[in-house]
Amino acid sequence: MNIIEIIEKKKNNKKLTKEEINYAVNAYTIGVVSDAQMAALLMAICINEMDEEETFYLTKAMIESGRMIDLSSIPGIKVDKHSTGGVGDKTTLIVAPIVSACGVPVAKLSGRGLGHTGGTIDKLESINGFDSDLTTEEFVKQVKEVGMADVEQTEEIVPADKKLYALRDVTGTTESISLIASSIMSKKIAAGADKILLDVKTGSGALITNFEDSVKLAKMMVEVGKRYGKKTVAFITDMNEPLGMTIGNGLEVKEAIKTLEGNGDERLTELCLSLAAKMISMGKEESLEKARKEAEDALKSKRALEKFKEFVKAQKGDINNIKVSKNTFNVYATREGYVYDIDEVTLALECLNMGSGRKHKDDKLKLGVGILKHKSIGDYIKVGDLLATVYYEDVKANAKKIESAFMVGSKKQEHFPLIYGVIE
Protein backbone atom coordinates (compact mmCIF):
# COMPACT_ATOMS: atom_id res chain seq x y z
CA MET A 1 0.00 0.00 0.00
CA ASN A 2 1.07 3.58 -0.59
CA ILE A 3 0.69 6.22 2.13
CA ILE A 4 0.68 9.06 -0.41
CA GLU A 5 -2.39 7.60 -2.13
CA ILE A 6 -4.10 7.25 1.26
CA ILE A 7 -3.34 10.89 2.13
CA GLU A 8 -4.61 12.06 -1.26
CA LYS A 9 -7.77 9.98 -0.92
CA LYS A 10 -8.63 11.61 2.41
CA LYS A 11 -7.57 15.02 1.08
CA ASN A 12 -10.20 14.51 -1.63
CA ASN A 13 -12.79 13.63 1.02
CA LYS A 14 -13.06 9.94 0.05
CA LYS A 15 -13.82 7.17 2.52
CA LEU A 16 -10.81 5.08 3.58
CA THR A 17 -11.04 1.31 3.74
CA LYS A 18 -10.29 -0.78 6.81
CA GLU A 19 -7.07 -1.99 5.10
CA GLU A 20 -5.90 1.55 4.31
CA ILE A 21 -6.54 2.69 7.88
CA ASN A 22 -4.73 -0.36 9.27
CA TYR A 23 -1.78 0.24 7.00
CA ALA A 24 -1.46 3.95 7.90
CA VAL A 25 -1.65 3.27 11.65
CA ASN A 26 0.71 0.30 11.66
CA ALA A 27 3.25 1.79 9.27
CA TYR A 28 3.36 4.99 11.33
CA THR A 29 3.68 3.10 14.63
CA ILE A 30 6.72 1.17 13.39
CA GLY A 31 8.28 4.23 11.72
CA VAL A 32 7.76 3.34 8.05
CA VAL A 33 5.46 6.34 7.58
CA SER A 34 7.11 9.61 8.64
CA ASP A 35 5.80 12.30 11.01
CA ALA A 36 5.37 14.62 8.01
CA GLN A 37 3.24 12.08 6.12
CA MET A 38 1.12 11.25 9.14
CA ALA A 39 0.65 14.95 9.93
CA ALA A 40 -0.65 15.42 6.37
CA LEU A 41 -3.10 12.56 6.81
CA LEU A 42 -4.22 13.88 10.22
CA MET A 43 -4.84 17.31 8.71
CA ALA A 44 -6.88 15.75 5.89
CA ILE A 45 -8.93 13.87 8.51
CA CYS A 46 -9.37 17.08 10.51
CA ILE A 47 -10.69 18.90 7.47
CA ASN A 48 -12.86 16.14 5.97
CA GLU A 49 -13.51 13.96 9.03
CA MET A 50 -14.19 10.21 9.00
CA ASP A 51 -17.58 8.54 9.22
CA GLU A 52 -18.61 6.18 12.00
CA GLU A 53 -17.25 3.09 10.25
CA GLU A 54 -13.86 4.66 9.47
CA THR A 55 -13.64 5.91 13.07
CA PHE A 56 -14.35 2.43 14.37
CA TYR A 57 -11.61 0.93 12.17
CA LEU A 58 -9.20 3.67 13.23
CA THR A 59 -9.94 2.93 16.89
CA LYS A 60 -9.54 -0.80 16.30
CA ALA A 61 -6.23 -0.35 14.49
CA MET A 62 -4.96 1.80 17.35
CA ILE A 63 -6.02 -0.76 19.97
CA GLU A 64 -4.39 -3.55 17.95
CA SER A 65 -1.12 -1.60 17.63
CA GLY A 66 -0.43 -2.94 21.13
CA ARG A 67 -1.98 -5.39 23.54
CA MET A 68 -5.03 -5.13 25.77
CA ILE A 69 -4.79 -5.14 29.55
CA ASP A 70 -6.57 -8.04 31.23
CA LEU A 71 -8.19 -6.87 34.47
CA SER A 72 -10.23 -10.04 35.00
CA SER A 73 -8.15 -11.05 38.03
CA ILE A 74 -9.43 -7.95 39.88
CA PRO A 75 -12.77 -8.55 41.55
CA GLY A 76 -15.69 -6.23 40.83
CA ILE A 77 -16.79 -4.11 37.90
CA LYS A 78 -13.95 -1.84 36.82
CA VAL A 79 -15.00 1.61 35.59
CA ASP A 80 -12.81 4.03 33.67
CA LYS A 81 -13.36 7.72 32.91
CA HIS A 82 -12.01 10.13 30.33
CA SER A 83 -12.50 13.78 29.52
CA THR A 84 -12.28 15.18 26.00
CA GLY A 85 -10.13 17.97 27.41
CA GLY A 86 -10.62 21.41 28.79
CA VAL A 87 -9.03 24.34 30.56
CA GLY A 88 -8.42 23.77 34.27
CA ASP A 89 -9.95 20.31 33.97
CA LYS A 90 -8.49 18.43 36.94
CA THR A 91 -11.58 16.26 37.49
CA THR A 92 -9.78 12.91 37.13
CA LEU A 93 -7.53 13.75 40.08
CA ILE A 94 -10.63 14.19 42.25
CA VAL A 95 -13.13 11.75 40.74
CA ALA A 96 -10.87 8.69 40.55
CA PRO A 97 -9.94 8.65 44.28
CA ILE A 98 -13.58 9.28 45.30
CA VAL A 99 -14.73 6.33 43.17
CA SER A 100 -11.90 4.10 44.34
CA ALA A 101 -12.53 5.03 48.00
CA CYS A 102 -16.09 3.79 47.47
CA GLY A 103 -14.80 0.36 46.43
CA VAL A 104 -14.94 0.64 42.64
CA PRO A 105 -11.50 -0.07 41.11
CA VAL A 106 -10.26 2.57 38.66
CA ALA A 107 -7.73 1.46 36.02
CA LYS A 108 -6.96 4.50 33.90
CA LEU A 109 -4.84 5.36 30.87
CA SER A 110 -4.52 9.13 30.56
CA GLY A 111 -2.95 11.55 28.12
CA ARG A 112 -0.71 14.59 28.23
CA GLY A 113 -1.65 18.15 27.27
CA LEU A 114 -3.30 18.45 23.88
CA GLY A 115 -3.50 21.79 22.06
CA HIS A 116 -4.51 24.44 24.58
CA THR A 117 -6.04 21.83 26.93
CA GLY A 118 -4.18 20.22 29.83
CA GLY A 119 -3.49 16.50 30.33
CA THR A 120 -3.68 14.38 33.48
CA ILE A 121 -0.25 12.78 32.98
CA ASP A 122 1.51 16.17 32.79
CA LYS A 123 -0.40 17.24 35.90
CA LEU A 124 0.57 14.11 37.83
CA GLU A 125 4.21 14.50 36.79
CA SER A 126 4.31 17.86 38.58
CA ILE A 127 4.37 15.71 41.73
CA ASN A 128 8.04 15.05 42.38
CA GLY A 129 9.02 11.47 41.50
CA PHE A 130 5.60 10.45 40.10
CA ASP A 131 6.00 7.51 37.73
CA SER A 132 3.40 7.43 34.93
CA ASP A 133 5.19 4.61 33.10
CA LEU A 134 4.32 1.39 34.92
CA THR A 135 4.61 -1.98 33.23
CA THR A 136 1.30 -3.69 32.53
CA GLU A 137 1.94 -6.11 35.41
CA GLU A 138 2.69 -3.25 37.82
CA PHE A 139 -0.44 -1.43 36.64
CA VAL A 140 -2.72 -4.42 37.27
CA LYS A 141 -1.05 -5.14 40.63
CA GLN A 142 -1.59 -1.55 41.76
CA VAL A 143 -5.26 -1.52 40.77
CA LYS A 144 -5.63 -4.74 42.75
CA GLU A 145 -3.81 -3.50 45.84
CA VAL A 146 -4.52 0.24 45.91
CA GLY A 147 -7.79 0.35 43.96
CA MET A 148 -6.55 2.83 41.39
CA ALA A 149 -3.71 3.46 38.94
CA ASP A 150 -3.17 6.05 36.21
CA VAL A 151 -0.55 5.64 33.50
CA GLU A 152 0.36 6.93 30.08
CA GLN A 153 0.09 5.03 26.79
CA THR A 154 3.18 2.81 26.41
CA GLU A 155 5.11 0.97 23.72
CA GLU A 156 3.00 -2.00 24.76
CA ILE A 157 -0.46 -0.46 25.26
CA VAL A 158 -1.89 1.72 22.44
CA PRO A 159 1.56 2.74 21.11
CA ALA A 160 -0.20 4.19 18.05
CA ASP A 161 -2.09 6.67 20.24
CA LYS A 162 1.11 7.59 22.07
CA LYS A 163 2.71 8.65 18.76
CA LEU A 164 -0.39 10.13 17.12
CA TYR A 165 -1.33 12.10 20.24
CA ALA A 166 2.11 13.73 20.47
CA LEU A 167 2.02 14.57 16.76
CA ARG A 168 -1.51 16.01 16.89
CA ASP A 169 -0.49 18.24 19.80
CA VAL A 170 2.04 20.16 17.70
CA THR A 171 0.44 20.08 14.23
CA GLY A 172 -2.90 21.81 14.83
CA THR A 173 -4.76 18.54 14.37
CA THR A 174 -6.48 18.19 17.73
CA GLU A 175 -9.96 19.36 16.77
CA SER A 176 -11.42 16.38 14.93
CA ILE A 177 -14.35 14.29 16.11
CA SER A 178 -12.95 11.07 14.65
CA LEU A 179 -9.42 11.66 15.94
CA ILE A 180 -10.63 12.48 19.45
CA ALA A 181 -13.07 9.56 19.50
CA SER A 182 -10.46 7.03 18.33
CA SER A 183 -7.76 8.39 20.64
CA ILE A 184 -9.97 8.22 23.71
CA MET A 185 -11.76 4.97 22.96
CA SER A 186 -8.57 3.12 21.98
CA LYS A 187 -7.14 3.93 25.41
CA LYS A 188 -10.35 3.06 27.21
CA ILE A 189 -10.82 -0.29 25.48
CA ALA A 190 -7.13 -1.26 25.78
CA ALA A 191 -7.06 -0.39 29.50
CA GLY A 192 -9.53 -3.20 30.07
CA ALA A 193 -12.26 -1.62 32.23
CA ASP A 194 -15.75 -3.11 32.04
CA LYS A 195 -17.57 0.21 31.84
CA ILE A 196 -16.62 3.70 30.69
CA LEU A 197 -17.78 7.17 31.69
CA LEU A 198 -16.94 9.98 29.28
CA ASP A 199 -16.91 13.68 30.11
CA VAL A 200 -17.45 15.38 26.76
CA LYS A 201 -16.62 19.05 27.09
CA THR A 202 -18.51 21.58 25.01
CA GLY A 203 -18.01 25.32 24.65
CA SER A 204 -15.37 27.85 23.69
CA GLY A 205 -12.55 26.20 25.68
CA ALA A 206 -13.21 22.63 24.50
CA LEU A 207 -11.53 20.96 21.54
CA ILE A 208 -14.98 20.63 20.00
CA THR A 209 -16.68 23.95 20.68
CA ASN A 210 -20.05 23.48 18.97
CA PHE A 211 -22.80 21.73 20.96
CA GLU A 212 -24.16 19.60 18.08
CA ASP A 213 -20.66 18.36 17.25
CA SER A 214 -20.04 17.57 20.93
CA VAL A 215 -23.17 15.42 20.93
CA LYS A 216 -21.97 13.75 17.72
CA LEU A 217 -18.60 13.02 19.37
CA ALA A 218 -20.33 11.61 22.46
CA LYS A 219 -22.59 9.37 20.36
CA MET A 220 -19.67 8.14 18.28
CA MET A 221 -17.72 7.12 21.39
CA VAL A 222 -20.74 5.49 23.02
CA GLU A 223 -21.22 3.52 19.78
CA VAL A 224 -17.58 2.35 19.73
CA GLY A 225 -17.92 1.27 23.38
CA LYS A 226 -21.06 -0.65 22.49
CA ARG A 227 -19.31 -2.44 19.62
CA TYR A 228 -16.71 -3.65 22.14
CA GLY A 229 -19.42 -4.75 24.58
CA LYS A 230 -18.55 -2.05 27.15
CA LYS A 231 -21.31 -0.01 28.68
CA THR A 232 -20.35 3.56 27.86
CA VAL A 233 -22.06 6.69 29.16
CA ALA A 234 -21.22 10.25 28.13
CA PHE A 235 -21.91 13.43 30.10
CA ILE A 236 -21.91 16.60 28.02
CA THR A 237 -20.46 19.25 30.32
CA ASP A 238 -19.60 22.91 30.12
CA MET A 239 -16.26 24.32 28.96
CA ASN A 240 -17.16 27.98 28.44
CA GLU A 241 -15.19 29.07 31.51
CA PRO A 242 -12.14 27.60 33.26
CA LEU A 243 -12.97 24.73 35.58
CA GLY A 244 -12.05 25.66 39.14
CA MET A 245 -9.62 28.42 40.05
CA THR A 246 -6.31 27.25 38.56
CA ILE A 247 -4.77 26.53 35.15
CA GLY A 248 -1.34 24.89 35.00
CA ASN A 249 -0.04 21.49 36.01
CA GLY A 250 1.28 21.83 39.59
CA LEU A 251 -1.31 24.45 40.52
CA GLU A 252 -4.09 22.14 39.36
CA VAL A 253 -2.80 19.22 41.45
CA LYS A 254 -2.75 21.52 44.48
CA GLU A 255 -6.33 22.58 43.72
CA ALA A 256 -7.38 18.94 43.36
CA ILE A 257 -5.93 18.22 46.82
CA LYS A 258 -7.71 21.26 48.25
CA THR A 259 -10.94 19.94 46.73
CA LEU A 260 -10.34 16.50 48.25
CA GLU A 261 -9.80 18.28 51.57
CA GLY A 262 -13.32 19.67 51.21
CA ASN A 263 -12.27 23.24 50.38
CA GLY A 264 -12.68 23.21 46.62
CA ASP A 265 -14.46 25.51 44.22
CA GLU A 266 -18.21 24.79 44.36
CA ARG A 267 -18.69 24.22 40.64
CA LEU A 268 -15.66 21.94 40.34
CA THR A 269 -16.73 19.95 43.41
CA GLU A 270 -20.26 19.54 42.08
CA LEU A 271 -19.05 18.28 38.68
CA CYS A 272 -16.68 15.81 40.36
CA LEU A 273 -19.40 14.48 42.65
CA SER A 274 -21.79 14.06 39.69
CA LEU A 275 -19.21 12.15 37.65
CA ALA A 276 -18.10 10.08 40.64
CA ALA A 277 -21.69 9.19 41.55
CA LYS A 278 -22.34 7.97 38.01
CA MET A 279 -19.17 5.85 38.02
CA ILE A 280 -20.02 4.36 41.40
CA SER A 281 -23.57 3.56 40.32
CA MET A 282 -22.19 1.90 37.16
CA GLY A 283 -19.59 -0.05 39.14
CA LYS A 284 -21.88 -1.21 41.93
CA GLU A 285 -25.03 -1.41 39.81
CA GLU A 286 -26.91 0.65 42.37
CA SER A 287 -29.10 3.75 42.21
CA LEU A 288 -27.58 7.11 41.41
CA GLU A 289 -28.98 8.53 44.68
CA LYS A 290 -27.22 5.88 46.78
CA ALA A 291 -24.00 6.33 44.80
CA ARG A 292 -24.14 10.11 45.22
CA LYS A 293 -24.41 9.72 49.00
CA GLU A 294 -21.41 7.38 49.00
CA ALA A 295 -19.38 9.84 46.90
CA GLU A 296 -20.25 12.73 49.23
CA ASP A 297 -19.31 10.61 52.24
CA ALA A 298 -15.96 9.60 50.73
CA LEU A 299 -15.19 13.27 50.17
CA LYS A 300 -16.42 14.49 53.57
CA SER A 301 -14.71 11.75 55.55
CA LYS A 302 -11.42 12.45 53.67
CA ARG A 303 -11.27 8.80 52.57
CA ALA A 304 -10.92 10.05 48.98
CA LEU A 305 -8.03 12.30 50.03
CA GLU A 306 -6.32 9.35 51.73
CA LYS A 307 -6.89 7.26 48.60
CA PHE A 308 -5.29 9.95 46.44
CA LYS A 309 -2.25 10.03 48.76
CA GLU A 310 -2.00 6.24 48.68
CA PHE A 311 -2.18 6.24 44.87
CA VAL A 312 0.49 8.95 44.53
CA LYS A 313 2.80 7.09 46.92
CA ALA A 314 2.27 3.82 45.05
CA GLN A 315 3.42 5.56 41.85
CA LYS A 316 6.48 6.92 43.69
CA GLY A 317 5.28 10.53 43.95
CA ASP A 318 6.05 12.81 46.88
CA ILE A 319 2.80 14.61 47.66
CA ASN A 320 4.67 17.17 49.75
CA ASN A 321 6.74 18.19 46.79
CA ILE A 322 4.58 19.54 43.96
CA LYS A 323 6.11 21.90 41.42
CA VAL A 324 4.77 25.45 41.70
CA SER A 325 6.93 28.29 40.40
CA LYS A 326 8.37 30.68 43.00
CA ASN A 327 8.14 33.74 40.73
CA THR A 328 4.74 35.41 40.73
CA PHE A 329 3.06 38.65 39.72
CA ASN A 330 -0.49 39.84 40.18
CA VAL A 331 -2.95 41.10 37.60
CA TYR A 332 -5.40 43.79 38.74
CA ALA A 333 -8.71 44.99 37.29
CA THR A 334 -8.75 48.20 35.31
CA ARG A 335 -12.55 48.19 34.93
CA GLU A 336 -15.55 48.00 37.22
CA GLY A 337 -18.61 45.75 36.92
CA TYR A 338 -19.80 42.15 37.01
CA VAL A 339 -17.63 39.45 35.45
CA TYR A 340 -19.95 37.98 32.80
CA ASP A 341 -17.46 35.71 31.03
CA ILE A 342 -13.83 34.57 31.28
CA ASP A 343 -11.96 33.81 28.09
CA GLU A 344 -10.41 30.50 29.11
CA VAL A 345 -8.57 29.99 25.81
CA THR A 346 -6.63 33.24 26.26
CA LEU A 347 -5.66 32.16 29.79
CA ALA A 348 -4.70 28.68 28.59
CA LEU A 349 -2.57 30.07 25.75
CA GLU A 350 -0.79 32.41 28.16
CA CYS A 351 0.02 29.36 30.32
CA LEU A 352 1.19 27.46 27.25
CA ASN A 353 3.45 30.39 26.27
CA MET A 354 4.99 30.27 29.75
CA GLY A 355 5.78 26.58 29.20
CA SER A 356 2.84 24.62 30.63
CA GLY A 357 2.30 22.93 27.24
CA ARG A 358 4.29 21.93 24.17
CA LYS A 359 5.01 23.79 20.94
CA HIS A 360 7.37 21.04 19.76
CA LYS A 361 7.12 17.31 20.40
CA ASP A 362 10.22 17.18 22.59
CA ASP A 363 9.59 20.34 24.63
CA LYS A 364 10.26 19.90 28.32
CA LEU A 365 7.39 21.37 30.29
CA LYS A 366 7.67 23.94 33.05
CA LEU A 367 5.28 22.13 35.34
CA GLY A 368 5.14 24.89 37.97
CA VAL A 369 3.85 27.69 35.76
CA GLY A 370 0.21 28.71 35.57
CA ILE A 371 -2.53 31.10 36.57
CA LEU A 372 -4.55 31.26 39.79
CA LYS A 373 -7.84 33.07 39.27
CA HIS A 374 -9.25 35.15 42.09
CA LYS A 375 -12.54 36.06 40.41
CA SER A 376 -15.27 34.04 38.74
CA ILE A 377 -18.36 34.72 36.66
CA GLY A 378 -20.92 36.67 38.69
CA ASP A 379 -18.33 38.43 40.91
CA TYR A 380 -18.41 42.23 41.10
CA ILE A 381 -15.02 43.81 40.57
CA LYS A 382 -13.70 47.32 41.15
CA VAL A 383 -10.67 49.00 39.60
CA GLY A 384 -7.57 47.71 41.40
CA ASP A 385 -9.15 44.41 42.53
CA LEU A 386 -6.92 41.34 42.29
CA LEU A 387 -8.00 39.24 39.29
CA ALA A 388 -5.25 36.64 38.97
CA THR A 389 -1.82 35.59 40.17
CA VAL A 390 0.60 34.41 37.51
CA TYR A 391 3.26 31.78 38.32
CA TYR A 392 6.14 31.93 35.85
CA GLU A 393 9.70 30.79 35.30
CA ASP A 394 11.75 32.59 32.65
CA VAL A 395 8.92 33.69 30.31
CA LYS A 396 6.24 35.97 31.74
CA ALA A 397 2.60 35.92 30.64
CA ASN A 398 1.03 39.04 29.15
CA ALA A 399 -0.76 40.82 32.02
CA LYS A 400 -2.88 42.94 29.67
CA LYS A 401 -4.24 39.87 27.88
CA ILE A 402 -5.03 38.19 31.21
CA GLU A 403 -6.83 41.29 32.43
CA SER A 404 -8.87 41.50 29.24
CA ALA A 405 -9.85 37.82 29.54
CA PHE A 406 -12.11 38.84 32.44
CA MET A 407 -15.09 40.35 30.62
CA VAL A 408 -16.98 42.91 32.63
CA GLY A 409 -20.53 44.27 32.24
CA SER A 410 -23.22 46.05 34.19
CA LYS A 411 -25.54 43.06 34.72
CA LYS A 412 -24.86 40.19 37.11
CA GLN A 413 -24.53 36.90 35.23
CA GLU A 414 -24.92 33.34 36.39
CA HIS A 415 -22.38 30.65 35.58
CA PHE A 416 -22.98 28.57 32.46
CA PRO A 417 -24.96 25.36 33.15
CA LEU A 418 -22.62 22.65 34.44
CA ILE A 419 -24.08 19.54 32.77
CA TYR A 420 -26.03 19.82 29.51
CA GLY A 421 -27.09 16.21 29.18
CA VAL A 422 -26.22 12.54 29.42
CA ILE A 423 -25.98 10.09 26.51
CA GLU A 424 -26.31 6.42 27.43
Binding residues (CB under 6 A) for ligand URA: these are: 84-85, 111, 114, 179-180, 183-184, 187
Residue 112: CB minimum distance to ligand URA, A:
9
Shortest reach from residue 153's CB to ligand URA, in Å: 9
- Judged by beta carbon, residue 199 or residue 350, the one nearer ligand URA is 199
Q: Which is nearer to ligand URA, 184 or 365 (CB)?
A: 184
Closest contact distance (angstroms) between CB of 409 and ligand URA is 33
The least distance separating ligand URA from the CB of residue 134, rounded to whole angstroms, comes to 18
Q: Which of 116, 168, 188, 201 is catalytic?
A: 168
Nearer to ligand URA, 179 or 245 (CB): 179
The answer to whether the beta carbons of residues 260 and 305 sit under 8 Å apart is yes
Shortest distance, CB of residue 85 to ligand URA, whole angstroms? Answer: 4
Nearer to ligand URA, 165 or 392 (CB): 165
User: Judging by DSSP bridges, how do beta strands 386-392 and 370-373 pair with one another?
Assistant: antiparallel
Q: Which one from 161, 194, 199, 238 is the annotated catalytic residue?
A: 161
Tell me how far apart the alpha carbons of residues 267 and 344 are, in angstroms, rounded to a whole number.
16
**Nearest to residue 326, comparing CAs of 394, 388, 373, 375?**
394
**Residue 118 C-beta: closest distance to ligand URA, Å:** 10
Is 183 designated active site?
yes
| CA distance linking residue 383 with residue 376, whole number of Å | 16
For the chain, the three-class secondary structure string (H helix, E strand, C coil) is CCHHHHHHHHHCCCCCCHHHHHHHHHHHHCCCCCHHHHHHHHHHHHHHCCCHHHHHHHHHHHHCCCCCCCCCCCCCCCEEEEECCCCCCCHHHHHHHHHHHCCCCEEEEECCCECCECCHHHHHCCECCCCCCCCHHHHHHHHHHHCEEEEECCCCCCHHHHHHHHHHHCCCCCCCHHHHHHHHHHHHHHCCCCEEEEEEEECCCCCCCCHHHHHHHHHHHHHHHHHCCCEEEEEEEECCCCCCCEECHHHHHHHHHHHHCCCCCHHHHHHHHHHHHHHHHHHHCCCHHHHHHHHHHHHHCCHHHHHHHHHHHHCCCCCCCECCCCEEEEEECCCCEEEEEECHHHHHHHHHHHHHCCCCCCCCCCCCCEEEECCCCCCEECCCCEEEEEEECCCCCCHHHHHHHEEEECCCCCCCCCEEEEEC
Q: What is the C-alpha to C-alpha distance for residues 164 and 186, in angstroms, rounded to an integer?
A: 12
Asked if 168 is an active-site residue, the reply is yes
To ligand URA, the closest distance from the beta carbon of 111 in angstroms equals 4
User: Per this entry, what is the length of the chain?
Assistant: 424
Residue placing its CB nearer to ligand URA in the complex, 183 or 240: 183
Instruction: Rank residues 180 and 291 by Cβ distance to ligand URA and give the closer one.
Output: 180
Residue of 81, 187, 307, 375 marked catalytic: 187
Active-site annotation holder among 65, 183, 281, 356: 183
Whether 361 is a known active-site residue: answer: no
State the catalytic residues: 82, 161, 168, 183, 187
